[in-house]
Structures are given as structure tokens and as C-alpha cells.
Structure 1
Amino acid sequence: MKIKEIIVVEGKDDTVAIKRALDADTIETNGSAINMVTLEKIKLAQETRGVIVLTDPDYPGQKIRNTISEHVPGCKHAFIEKHAALHKYGKGVGVEHASPEVIRAALKDSHVMNEEAVSDITQDDLITAGLIGGAGSRERREKLGQYLKIGYTNGKQLHKRLIMFQISKAKFAEAIENISKEEYDG
């Protein structure tokens, strides 16, 4: 499988994992302190071939996403769930630990974040859905991120993430209904 876009990853081990999964080119950020030279490479890649950002499901990975989104709008973002990116002996979390199947699925489900989008989903909707401010809200946010393929986020950032990925109120309601059904059936 070959993809046109260039994949932005954090380091060499991530590139190796990507190459095991498919035929693709990568740009490595070498950590969360991305320099301007790397941002210029990402900008050129976005202009010529398109970019998919695939970072670790942790705070530094989110910091990298935010920096890239700020400097290079219009990139696609792919997410790997934390449980699928854990080292087999519990020694860290990262793209390099994900299976080729998980990496291919994440890239297939990548989509653009829109920083200027608006949404009809309100903070009250999030509270009513049990996503913030209550027992089990973290687990429900994890399930929502998996269902909508937007990755996990904390309660403070959830509304922003829903807006950036242009999740409609109908799609949000469908996701909450399915999550609630799973919890009821499970």
C-alpha cells in the first residue's frame, strides 16, 4: 500500500513502524520542540503532496499536533488509541509500538481539523452526555474519541476537538447513543 501524503512522525522508530505498515515518506519532528526548518519542510510537503500528522497519543504528541496546526493549516490528522500504542512490557507509549494494521487503519481514517469551524454542540451537551464533570467521564471520552476517530482528549479540550473536526450534532448524538448502548449491553 502506497500513500501520496507525507506522514509527520516524532522520530526514527516511528518511521520504521510506518515503513513496516506501508510504503510512505515521513518527516520526523525529533520531539515536541519543532524548529522552523522542520515546519518549513512540513509546509512544503502540505503544498506539494499533502500531510498526515501521526503522533504519539500523549501530551508531547498533542503539543506537536498543535504546533503544526498553528503553522501549517489544512493537514490531515490520524490518531492511534493509547491502548494500541503501548509497549508490550509497559515501557512507554508511541506510534513505534503500534501494529502495521493499527497504523494503516489510523491513516485510512485521517481527516482535516478546521480551526475556524463552529458547532451546535454545547458544553451542556457534553455534561448531559456524561463526558465531563462526572464519574466515568474519562472512559466515555475515550470511547467517543475511538468511535468518531478523533483521538482521546481531556474534558477541557473535548469541545474544541469536536469543533475542529466538524462533528455535527447528529453525528455526536449517534456516537453517544452507540456508546450508551454498549455500556448498557456490556
Structure 2
Amino acid sequence: MYKGDIGVENASPEAICRALANVRTEASADAVPSDIVNWGDLVEAGLVVHPDAASRRLQMGRILGIGYANGKQFYKRCVSFRIGRDEFHDALKELERGREETK
């Protein structure tokens, strides 16, 4: 193994299990649950139409494992990856706790 080699063949079994446990797959339109995040949830959470919306989306994207996106794409990812309201609100609590700790 040379420095910088990050292929799966060099990953520990624990790292592989962690990665597989966090896999997200896209849902077909008919498989989207009814408790899915809606646009109002994003507004209320300060992820859109808010002075710090971009940085909040960056942090929420990391917590949820869906990456950074602009508001419209973030919403589409929440729907596509079936982010339910409970999961979304748990992630929002984690985001707020992290912000409190950095103050």
C-alpha cells in the first residue's frame, strides 16, 4: 500500500460496515412515504430563506449524509432519499447542539 491509497481493499472491516450502514438509495415516486420532509420544514429550519441558510444546509447535509446542495436541490434530495420528518428533526437538533457548543 502506498500513501494516499484509499481503495476499499485497504479499508478496515469496521469502516466498510459503517459505510454500508449509511447507504442511501433513491426512492421511486410511488415509494415516497407520507411523512416526508416538505418545503415548509426547510423554511422553518432555516435551510432556505435565511441569512445562514447555505451554511446550515452544508451542516445538515453532512448530518443526513446527503451532501451540500442549494435549497431546491436539498429539498429534492430529502424527497428522493426518503428523509422522514423524525430523521430530519433529529438531524436539526444535532445541528443546533453543534452550534451551541461552538458559541
* TM-score interval for Structure 1 and Structure 2 normalised by the shorter chain: 0.7 to 0.9
Letter in 1 for 2:27: N
Unaligned runs of 5+ in 2: none
Q: Structure 2: how far apart are the matches of 1:20 and 1:170?
A: 34
TM-score by length of 2: 0.74
Counterparts in 2 of 1:158 and 1:115: CA distance versus 1, 3 Å: farther
Cα pair 2:60 2:92 within 8 Å, conserved: yes
How far is 1:137 from its partner? 0.6
Unaligned runs of 5+ in 1: 1-16, 24-99
Are positions 1:127 and 2:40 aligned together?
no
The structure with higher relative contact order (CA 8 Å, sep 6+) is 2
Higher strand share: 1
Higher helix share: 2
Are positions 1:176 and 2:89 aligned together?
no
TM-superposition CA deviations, 1:114-160 (whole Å, max 9, x none):
14125532211101100001111111111111101111111111111
Q: Structure 2: how far apart are the matches of 1:144 and 1:115?
A: 23
**What is the percent sequence identity of the aligned residues?**
24
TM-superposition CA deviations, 1:82-105 (whole Å, max 9, x none):
xxxxxxxxxxxxxxxxxx79xx67
Q: Structure 1: how far apart are the matches of 2:76 and 2:65?
A: 15
- What CA RMSD, in Å, does the superposition of the two structures yield over aligned residues? 2.4
Letter in 1 for 2:8: L
Q: Structure 2: how far apart are the matches of 1:139 and 1:124?
A: 18
Q: How many residues align?
A: 91
